[in-house]
C-alpha cells in the first residue's frame, strides 16, 4: 500500500506532487523483502537527487540489493555502475557479469 501511495505522490495522482514524501514512502516500503522494484526506485532517487539528496554510492547499494533479488532493470544499472565506476570502483569484469 505504501508503494502505491508513493506513486500517487510522485505523479500527483489525487494529491499534490511531493517527491520527498514519495521517496520517504518508497523507502518505508523497501522493508518487504519481495519489493525489488521499490529498492530499484530508491536507487533511482539517490542517483537523480529527486526527493532525496543525490548520493551515487547509496544509489549503487540500493540497485545492488534489488539486483541480487533478480530484478533485471537493477542488474543492468549495477552493470552500468561497475562499467563507469559510479558509486563503486570501476570493474569491467563485474560489469560483464551483471549485463
Model confidence, pTM? 0.76
DSSP character for 34?
T
The confidence score (pLDDT) of residue 16 equals 95
Residue 52 has phi, psi (to 5 degrees) of -145, 155
- Structural domains in the chain, sorted by start: 2-98 (1.25.40.10)
- Alpha-carbon distances of 40 from 14, 30, 87, 93, rounded to whole Å: 24, 9, 14, 22
The confidence score (pLDDT) of residue 51 equals 84
Selection from 56, 63, 61, 51 nearest residue 18 by Cα: 51
The CA distance from 64 to 26, in Å, is 16
Q: What is the pLDDT along the chain (99 residues), one digit of tens a residue?
A: 888 899 899 899 999 999 999 989 988 887 776 688 889 999 999 999 988 899 999 999 999 999 999 999 999 999 999 999 999 999 999 999 999
The confidence score (pLDDT) of residue 57 equals 98
Amino acid at each position: 500500500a505504501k508503494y502505491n501511495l508513493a506513486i500517487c505522490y510522485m505523479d500527483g495522482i489525487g494529491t499534490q506532487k511531493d517527491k520527498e514524501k514519495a521517496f520517504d514512502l518508497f523507502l518505508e516500503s523497501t522493508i518487504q523483502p519481495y519489493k525489488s522494484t521499490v529498492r530499484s526506485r530508491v536507487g533511482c532517487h539517490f542517483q537523480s537527487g529527486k526527493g532525496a539528496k543525490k548520493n551515487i554510492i547509496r544509489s549503487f547499494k540500493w540497485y545492488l540489493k534489488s539486483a541480487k533479488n533478480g530484478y533485471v532493470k537493477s542488474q543492468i544499472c549495477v552493470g552500468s555502475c561497475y562499467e563507469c565506476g559510479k558509486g563503486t570502483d570501476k570493474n569491467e569484469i563485474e560489469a560483464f557479469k551483471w549485463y
